[in-house]
Amino acid sequence: MDSIGLALDQNPSGASDDFPALLRRRGLLPAVPAQTGMAPTADPAWIPTQATTILAFKFQGGVLVAGDRRATSGHTVVYDRADKVLEIDRHSIMAIAGVPATAWEMARVLEHSFQFFRRTQLQEMSVDGKVRALSKLLRDNFGFVLQGVGIVVPIFATYDSGADPSARLYFYDAMGAQFEVADYAATGSGSPAVRGILYYENNWGKKPLVKLTEDEAVTVALRALDTAAESDTATGGVDRNAKIFPVIKIVSRGGITTLPEKRIGALFKRTVA
Partner 1 sequence: MIEEPYRWVEAIANRAEYIETQLAAGSPIAAVGYRDGILFVTLGRGRQKVFEIYDRIAMGAIGHPGDIERLRMAAIELASAEGFTRSAADVSLRRLAHYSLSPVLKTAFEQVYGAPYLARILFAEIGAKQESDLFLRLEYDGAIATNSANFEQTRQDFGAISGTRQSTELMEKFLQAEHSAGATFERAMKIALDAWTVGHLALGDGGVKELPARDKILSERKDRLRTAGVEAAVLERDDKIALRYRGLSATEIRSALGD
Q: Any idea which residues carry the catalytic annotation?
A: 52
Shortest Å distance, C-beta 1 to partner 1: 4
Q: 10 φ, ψ to 5°?
A: -80, 155
> By C-beta, is 105 or 173 nearer to partner 1?
105
Beta carbon nearer to partner 1, 13 or 241: 13
Eight-state DSSP code of residue 32:
P
Which CB, 111 or 261, lies closer to partner 1? 111
Cβ atoms 96, 86 nearer than 8 A: yes
Helix (H) or strand (E) holding 168: strand 166-172
Please list the alpha-helical segments (H only) found in 150-258: 191-204, 214-231
Work out the burial of residue 208: count CB atoms within 10 Å of its CB; fewer than 13 is exposed, 13-18 middle, 19 or more buried: middle
Nearest to 224 by CA among 198, 244, 200: 198
Q: What is the largest CA-CA distance in the chain?
A: 66
The residue ranges that bind partner 1 (CB under 8 A) are: 1-4, 6, 8-11, 16, 19, 22-23, 26, 28, 108-109, 112, 115-116, 118-120, 122
* Residue (40 or 260) nearer to partner 1, CB: 260
Please report how close the Cβ of residue 125 comes to partner 1 at its closest, in angstroms: 14
Tell me the closest approach of the beta carbon of residue 134 to partner 1, in angstroms.
Answer: 16
Rg of the chain taking only CA atoms, in angstroms: 20
Q: How far is the CB of 159 from partner 1 (least distance, A)?
A: 17
What residues pair up with 56 in beta bridges, in sequence order?
65, 185
